[in-house]
A = this chain, B = another copy of it.
Amino acid sequence: MSIHEECGVFGIYDKAGDCARTTYYGLYALQHRGQEACGIAAINDRELSSYKDIGLVGDVFHEKILDELNGTMAVGHVRYATTGAGKRENAQPLTLKYVKGTLAVVHNGNLVNTGALRKYFEYRGAIFQTSTDSEIIAYSIAQERLKCGSVEEAVKNAMPMLKGAFSLIVMSPRKLIAARDPWGFRPLCMGRRGDAVVFASESCALDGVDAEYIREIEPGEIVVVEDGVVRSIRDNCPEDSKGNLCIFEYIYFARPDSEIYGQSVHFARRMAGRLLAQEHPVEADLVIGVPDSGLDAAMGYAEESGIPYGEGFVKNRYIGRTFITPNQQSRENAVRIKLGLLSNNVKGKRVVMIDDSIVRGTTCKAIIKLLRDAGAKEVHMRVSSPRFISPCYFGTDIPDKKDLIACHHTVEEICEMAGADTLGFLSVENLHKIAPDAQCGFCDGCFTEHYAVEIDEGYAGGTGCN
């Protein structure tokens, strides 16, 4: 419940027009990837216009704004970030003028050589007005554009400089360009709706705008749409790698109705539950999941174990950014407001409770207390991912080791601290079996400390869709 995906991107090329509006619906479908800020930029007759602000898609955009943005190409962005005044300038799309005219840039991910790149550009006179990686990416493209003949070539030439995760969409007055880092950390897929071409972080956004899923953008690939024609540039695609997709997308980040690399997210979660049941069986009367992402895993656990699946919690759908945390009550009470409990379902029962992960261990403790208060006889916690032992540098906010309970405590200790009867995590070995249909390799660095990209020792870490 407390790890956040950082950002979602959407782009469309549609000569029929109305692209800002389509992007609006696309962003709605990606809202789970970022609720802090959002924005849309559109090209109409080669003119760029854009609008972005802090807030949800439904709050930031109104009919009038969409009407003004309308065009035959558009890109959009939803952003997750820590709260704070004055962060408005970090909202995307980043829109800019450079030597060849205008550009709009949206991206999801996090670079790990930010410091070196900033220095590099600053020593050439650059000024940085935001703290986003988008601005660094834009500088890279702008600089390369001076030496080559097209914006897509500039993107191609800039990519080797950019170390880390980026799923990127760049829009010039005539071209829509999607690009993905050579490791393929964050997802990015392509779809079609008639002649229109659509890019999105997840396939659920294609469904949302009635576009057909075509394929993933490959790690290192650049896809250019110009005059309705789609071209692929594969110079940066690694030859010998299946890529390093963030495996936590399947566990938690992505929407269950999305498919990534041919693998349904819903089924991956269910499979995680099945494997968890094999790995950590227990005698019990009921399997329940912590909404929303624990539900699918709970269903899988139930199927595999034969223990009945049941609903345990009702999530309050109205808790938003402005929720006032109880100040005179315990954290437990905050959980009580966020999660209603079907007390009769758990009373007197031995309950298996599935959640997707344990970060600090505070939330699961409060939830287990809720179950015990309601009369659960036993609470067996099962976690549909391995223990977090290392931070993420590639665009999520999995925190530093000091804040990860599994870095400091054994499973037994965590179990006792959480107040569970037993506790079991999915093993890394089984983790790699949850997405059997996925045509890709994975990054599991937060569980294994093995990262596809070397992290500089002094790297401070990314804290947002930087």
Docked pose: A122 CA to B103 CA in angstroms: 13
B residues less than 8 Å from A139 (CB atoms): 125, 127
Identity of the chain B residue whose Cβ is nearest the Cβ of A41 in the assembled complex: B86
Please list the residues of chain A having a beta carbon within 8 angstroms of any beta carbon in chain B.
18, 21, 24-25, 28-29, 31-32, 35, 49-51, 56-59, 61-63, 65-66, 68, 85-86, 88-89, 94-99, 103, 118-119, 121-129, 135, 138-139, 142-143, 146, 204, 207-208, 210, 255-257, 259, 264, 266-267, 295-296, 299, 309, 311, 313-314, 316-324, 326, 328-329, 333, 336-337, 340-345
Interface centre among A99, A142, A255, by most chain B C-beta atoms within 10 angstroms, is A99
User: When the two chains form their complex, are residues B29 and A340 in contact, meaning their CB atoms are under 8 A apart?
Assistant: yes
Query: Which of A97, A118, A125, A320 has its CB near the most chain B CB atoms (within 10 A)?
Result: A125
CB contacts (< 8 Å) of A96 on chain B: these are 127-129
| Extra 15 A-B pairs, beta carbons < 8 Å, given A28-B318, A210-B329, A299-B311 | A21-B324, A21-B326, A21-B328, A25-B333, A28-B316, A32-B318, A58-B319, A61-B324, A89-B89, A94-B129, A97-B128, A98-B128, A99-B125, A256-B342, A295-B311
Give Cα distance in the complex from A51 to B87, angstroms: 9
The reply to whether B311 and A56 contact each other, CB–CB distance below 8 Å, is no
Task: Determine the chain B residues whose CB is within 8 A of the CB of A255 once the complex forms.
Answer: 314, 340
Are the C-beta atoms of B51 and A86 separated by less than 8 Å?
yes
Residues of B within 8 A of A296 (CB): 311
Instruction: State A119–B319 Cα separation when bound (angstroms).
Output: 42
Contact of B97 with A337 in the complex, beta carbons under 8 Å = no
In contact, B322 and A266 (Cβ under 8 angstroms): no
Q: Is the CB of A98 within 8 A of B126?
A: yes
| A207/B138 in contact, CB under 8 A | no
Contact A18 B328 (CB under 8 A): yes
* Contact among B29, B125, B336, B340 with A126 in the assembled complex (CB-CB below 8 Å): B125
Secondary structure at the A interface, as helix, strand, loop or mixed, is mixed
Bound state CA distance, A62 and B204, in angstroms? 34
Instruction: Name the one of B97, B118, B138, B337 contacting A208, with C-beta atoms under 8 angstroms.
Output: B337
Q: Are A98 and B122 in contact (CB under 8 A)?
A: yes
Chain B: CB-nearest residue to A147: B125
Find out whether the CB atom of A344 lies under 8 angstroms from the CB atom of B264. Answer: yes
A50 touches B123 (CB 8 A): no
Sample (19) of A-B pairs whose CB atoms are under 8 Å apart: A18-B328, A29-B340, A58-B321, A68-B85, A96-B128, A98-B122, A99-B119, A122-B142, A124-B124, A125-B143, A127-B135, A208-B336, A255-B340, A256-B342, A257-B314, A257-B343, A259-B344, A266-B342, A317-B317
| Residues A126 and B126 in contact in the complex (CB < 8 Å), given A56-B318, A207-B340, A322-B58 | yes
A266 x B345 contact (CB < 8 A): yes
Q: State how many angstroms separate the Cβ of A263 from the closest Cβ of chain B.
A: 10
> Cβ of B207 and Cβ of A341 under 8 Å apart?
yes
A86 and B340: CB pair below 8 A? no
Question: A320: which B residues are within 8 A, CB to CB?
Answer: 56, 58-59
Q: Which residues of B contact A127 (CB under 8 A)?
A: 96-98, 103, 135, 138-139, 142
Residue of B57, B322, B340 near A257 (CB, 8 A) is B340
Instruction: Please name the residue on chain B nearest to A327 by beta carbon.
Output: B21
CB of B340 within 8 A of CB of A208, answer yes
A121 / chain B contacts, CB cutoff of 8 Å: 125
Contacts of A49 in B (CB 8 A): 86
Chain B, residue nearest A16 (CB):
B328
Query: Which B residues are CB-close (under 8 A) to A309?
Result: 309
CA distance A208 to B89 in the complex (A): 31
Chain B residue with Cβ nearest A213: B343
| Residues in B whose Cβ lies below 8 Å from that of A35 | 318
